[in-house]
Structure 1
Amino acid sequence: MFSSEDALDLLRSSGCSEKVIAHCVAVADLALDISRKLIDNGRDVNIGLVEVGGLLHDLGRAKSHGIDHAVVGVSIARENNVDPEIIEIIKRHIGAGITKDDARVLGLPDDDYMPITLEQKIVAHADNLVMGTERISLDRRIMKMQKKDLDLASIERVKALAEEIGIY
């Protein structure tokens, strides 16, 4: 499996800015904190997968800052033989996921981008709670989503994901 050092090397060699890399590190750190709390509560979490997935979740920002950055990240990850479980985290990290119907509307490839595994959900949740490198509250994330006029279903998915994870 890719190590955290491998992940940081891939972010740099793919052309991610230091700002994007700092964000990825902050998301990975929060995802690890969430994972440890879940483990303390008796949940089974693959902490290595969460760490590397958190680091690589925005890999696609090397080439795109649009909604398609997850799809671009998947392509870069595949070209670099990243583990399939990490590729799925990259694919499914945006917001609290993107449904197949929403993907069609957004012009993404016809696929389901909803997080399924606990590790995918942890990284998506952590990403929702990090703006730049700053940890933010769920309320602040929702306010930002409302200001962007995101649809109610997207906001409700973020709230439901936070409730499911139950931490932060």
Structure 2
Amino acid sequence: MNKAQELDIEARIKDLKANSKIDFSKSLPTKEEAIEIMKKLGLPKNIINHELAVMRKARDLAYNITKVEVDIELVKIGALMHDIGRCVLHSMAHGPIGGDIIRKLGFKSSKKLARVVERHLLAGISADEAEKFDLPERNYIPETIEEKLVCFSDKLHSGSRKVTIEKRFQRWIAKHGLNQFLKEQINRAKILEEEILGQIY
């Protein structure tokens, strides 16, 4: 995000806080508030529809997990807002940009929510791999169950259509070929799937 984009998003957040009835001091926004935030920040409708589809999948998986404790509200709102950074850019940078936007919104659980948003990229990107994509040098590999649920559920949707993991990566493969990095990403997605299903069955 360049300086002009950063100033623009800060102005939009300031306007949002001044002209909405949302209580930004609480833990998380409601579903309706999250949608209002995204619309006011200029997120396209098709992206919001994708996020709604991912939210439904992540929520359903979360409700069925019995072997570990899950913060279902964090999963729902994290899935719903995971692509918020696309109101600025549609590149890989939308992950860290989205995390920065969430932190600026200032909800009490913004740190946890920001990590969910940042760590949905592909099937997780290490700090070393982030450098190749010109992303801020952070760890983008999902670590908590909430981060993993959102990342995995995102891999099961293309737009708002349900797809397989292989189908979801097909666009990347068509563009770059089935290189070692993408093989590793598909493998990471399948490990996520095994881990999540293992918490259910």
Q: Same fold (TM over 0.5)?
A: yes
Give the distance between the partners of 2:128 and 2:81, measured in 1 at CA: 25
Q: Which amino acid aligns with 2:39?
A: R
CA distance in 1, matches of 2:96, 2:186: 21
> Aligned partners of 2:32, 2:170: CA distance in 1, in Å?
35
Q: CA deviation at 1:147?
A: 2.6
Q: Cα distance, 1:30 vs. partner?
A: 0.6
Q: Is residue 30 from structure 1 mapped to residue 31 from structure 2 by the alignment?
A: no
2: distance between equivalents of 1:18 and 1:64? 15
Q: Percent identity, please.
A: 31
Work out which of the residue numbers 111, 125, 131 in structure 2 matches 1:104.
Answer: 131
1:52 is aligned to 77
Question: Which letter maps to 2:61?
Answer: I
- Name the SS for the 2:138 alignment partner: coil
How big is the shift at 1:71? 1.1
C-alpha distance in 2 between matches for 1:6 and 1:148: 37
CA distance in 1 between counterparts of 2:175 and 2:185 reads 11
User: What residue number does 2:100 align with?
Assistant: 75
Question: Match for 2:59: what amino acid?
Answer: L
State the SS of the aligned residue for 1:108. Answer: coil
Residue 122 of structure 1: aligned partner: 149
1:38 offset after TM fit, Å?
A: 1.4
Unpaired runs of 5+ residues, structure 2, are 1-26
- What corresponds to 1:166 in structure 2? 197
Which amino acid is 1:52 matched to? Answer: I
Determine the C-alpha separation between the residues in 2 that align with 1:146 and 1:37. Answer: 32
Alpha-carbon distance in 1 for matches of 2:191, 2:170: 16
> Are the counterparts in 2 of residues 58 and 73 from structure 1 also a CA contact under 8 Å?
yes
C-alpha distance in 1 between matches for 2:91 and 2:190: 23
Superposition map of 1:150-161 within 5 A: 151=181, 152-161=183-192
Q: Quote the residue 1:135 is aligned against.
A: 162
Residue deviations 1:68-105 (CA, integer Å, cap 9, x gap): 00111112112211421111101111121100110011
Please list the CA deviations of residues 84-131 of structure 1 after superposition, one character each: whole Å capped at 9, or x if unmatched.
111110111112110011001110011111101000000000000011
1:141 positional shift? 2.4
Q: In the alignment, is the contact (CA less than 8 A) between 1:145 and 1:155 conserved in 2?
A: no
| Contact 1:57–1:90 (CA under 8 A) maintained in structure 2 | yes
**Which residue does 2:122 correspond to in 1?**
95
- 1:13, distance to aligned residue in structure 2 (A): 1.2
In structure 2, distance between residues paired with 1:148 and 1:44: 39
Q: Which amino acid aligns with 2:83?
A: D
1:74–1:36 distance in 2 versus 1, CA, 3 Å: same
- The structure number with the bigger radius of gyration is 2
The alignment of Structure 1 onto Structure 2 pairs a total of residues equal to 165
